[in-house]
Structure 1
Amino acid sequence: MGKPKHQSPAVKKANAVKKKYNRGSPGKSLRCKRAILAIEKKEVTVRKASELYGLSYGYLHRRLSGEVELDSRNGPQPIFTKTEEEAMAHWLKEMASRGMGLKPGDVLDFVQKLVTNEKKQTPFANNRPGYDWYYAFMRRNSHIVEMRTETPLETCRAKLTKEKTDKWYSSFREFLSLKGLIDKPTRIWNADETGFSMGSTSGKVIGPTRAQHPTQVPHLSGGHSKQRLTVM
């Protein structure tokens, strides 16, 4: 076995940076799934798939054989399960859709409170995750949430169209049919609510992806607080 080729300090540093950011890089799991699908369809061999999709032969073979879970990764165990994170992402999406979207710092505060209340063991200082965790969370759940710019609720309402109104009534009719109330008007009650915003300013929040929610993300306008009082 020959001696390894000499590398300059600059080349060594570049390789170290490349290795750091390739490890667990975004899209690796997706590339692996595509590679396995191509192999199962007998379109390519394992070795050829590893070359085409930028994966090591051993990495791909272990997941193909079932020795390692497809989404398995090196490093410490995640604080939340995939199901728990997706539930959190769906909640964030719903909050934004209702005009009460959370900013990154709000999410970190929420996670800190959650793990403290549930007495979860975490590597976080004071149980508050850093932005590295936040960015990783957003990558893992990019099919559910992404950063969106809020639009004042009054502006969203001003853009209400006949098509949107018809769609709402169509969905309401389907809901009544599903609940068996379409022919029981005496069991249908109307409730009115009024919201009093304690204030807040619009900005970028975590909300639904544009593919799922192409319209504007509403914002409850006001001063500098997200507090809101609702009266029925």
Structure 2
Amino acid sequence: MGVILVVDDDSEIRDVIHVYLRNEGYSVIEAKDGAEALDVLSQRELDLVILDVMMPRMDGIKACMHIRERYDVPIIMLSAKEGDIDKIMGLSTGADDYVTKPFNPMELIARVKAQLRRQKILAGKDVPHTQITIRELVIDIAKHFVSIRGQEVMLTPLEFLILNLLAANPGQVFSADTIYESVWKERVGYSDNTVMVHIRNLREKLELNPKKPEYIKTVWGVGYKMDK
């Protein structure tokens, strides 16, 4: 069903996650810090990484940044801190989802399944060669390639899907919930800032001045849109 790397310096937490994942049919590899996780990634292909934030030697934030430089594997971050600043920090490094400790193991399993289901859909989809051009922004759907002002932009899979959704429907306003359900392929079951953080990350990568965006516009009280 898939190979999942669990990275946490707490062996008891690794054991709990390992048992639940194994019971769902997944193969599990464990690592106790970010440096060890990078070693595993260099040696074999993985389907998903569950990555704790607070760890010795190399923490989850640094590890996530290094992983994103070379791999597209989905990443779910774990943290004992519940503040929005921690969530923003985790997602800004390229994480695809975020779960706070203490967590319900079944909720984590549901997040894992959602990420793997999304990856499977993307990998198996027969995407026609379609290109969207909006002023200096170019999106090649088939090649999963984005450039702005002639420079390639590296996006995470979720950032690419959000950008594609907005660019393919110019002028249409999408609420945060609609974006979540369209991209994550699941109902919004909790309130958080996940979509807002990904929009912010996109603006940081695409806009000359993220505080005054030219491409991804906010319609206050409604959602987000992109005009031609």
| TM bracket, shorter-chain basis | under 0.3
Structure number with higher helix proportion: 1
Structure of greater relative contact order (alpha carbons < 8 Å, 6+ residues apart): 1
Larger Rg: 1
TM-score (ref. length: structure 2): 0.21
Structure number with higher strand proportion: 2
